[in-house]
Structure 1
Amino acid sequence: MKVILAPNQAAGDQAAFQVFKQVVDHGAHVLGLATGSTPEGLYRLLRESPLDFSQMISVNLDEYVGIDPDNPQSYHYFMKQHLFNAKPFAHSYLPDGLAADPDAEVKRYDQVVVDNPVDLQLLGIGRDGHIGFNEPGSPFDGGTHRVKLTDSTIEANARFFSSKDEVPREAYTMGIGTILKSREILLMAYGDKKADAIQKMVEGPLTTAVAASALQKADNVVVIVDPAAAAKLRPTSISERL
């Protein structure tokens, strides 16, 4: 696991952009994408760049259950606003939050990832160490599944809604086992609220209580953090300082 310490979020976004540019320049075909506030700066840089995704595939980590794709709070909508409208892909896959048959949707999305092996998977991290919507206790070999969100995740996501009561209680997510099959993984984290999760992910024991600790098992992981997110790491855990 390579941990890059950026002096601020803007520098971290630039470093993340260079990771994306490098894999695209070297022939990557499938990008695994994430939502939330953390990658917004990266997506802005991608929108403003000359990179061409028109012959590539994107596969998103997750989607809320029960929200229409055109709802401004859906991850379909987020991706269109922050990336796809400016940089369309040949095809973009996301879970169907309105799927009538949850079991069939889980199988469908697992097959999507099998058919489109991810060259670079982008991740954020939750305050409790979740990646995607793999909450504490998620098995490290899990595939796509429907999950009930924890109170802490609902609380953290409430800032995107008018009230906490509007936050969906369930989501579809790629499993940790699926994420670990990605050829490369890039995780971004900013701010002091992520410091505990980053420390446990990088230095803590391998445990399902911290889903992100599973990344210790992966061969090619880059973690980009700012000083606040890296505050609880030992200096020896930092691989590179920008």
Structure 2
Amino acid sequence: MLVNQKKLVTGLCLATLTLASAASYAGDREIGGYVDKAESRFVRNVWNFIKNFQGWQNIGSHRYKETQYYYNKPFVMDSSHQFYVDKMDLAYIAGHGSDYYIETDQSLGEGVDLRTVPAYGDLANNGDLEFMIIESCYTVTTAPEHADWWSPYSNMFQGLHQLVGFHTLSNSDNGIPNNYANKLKANGGVWQSWFDAVNEERYWIFNPTNDDGSPYPGLASAIMYTSTENDRLGAYAADPAGGTAGMKTWWQY
């Protein structure tokens, strides 16, 4: 059940369930990029992030490198996830989206529903994914859209630390991916750096409004746990127990 929910003056909202624990790891980490086969801007979105990790990047006690860069397909996130997104430590995905959904191939009408994907993370199916970033419209649906925002994420969060994206329409083919990558390389917080990159992109444009009323380039959102809220690429919490206990959401409004 929802324990508390409050608005903050910083333009963010927070919702919390219960609690969990923390620790840190060391070693090499992998980054993957996955592109919706649709407009070319999605290729640029992913490339402008992963280009910053073409060689090993030392970040805190870890080092990161891009090792996968593919057009997305349902099996990448579903039946063969252990060989693709769940083999990575961070997955960056771009495409068209809707509530809980990310398109993978526009011409074929293919996509993935996050409510039905397999468990992601170390705790099930031999997965490894800690952070999933989805640059799309609406996919990271959260409290403003659904009162029971946490339940749909129960299956996928089985070791996954954070899911980051937008809960409104979003505008892409801009500076967000590159800016975000550089913030992560400076060991900024995973979801905090995303929100900052979105806000900084917003300041370049003089108040345009999207069709759903959200300001350019959209409003960011993130799902995580109380124990993983302050994760950075250079040091992050132990894998959470999975499910919805301790789950938390932040969103811009």
Regarding TM over 0.5, the answer is no
Which has the larger share of helix? 1
TM-score by length of 1: 0.35
Could you say which structure has the greater relative contact order, defined with CA pairs below 8 angstroms and 6 or more residues apart?
A: 1
Which has the larger share of strand? 2
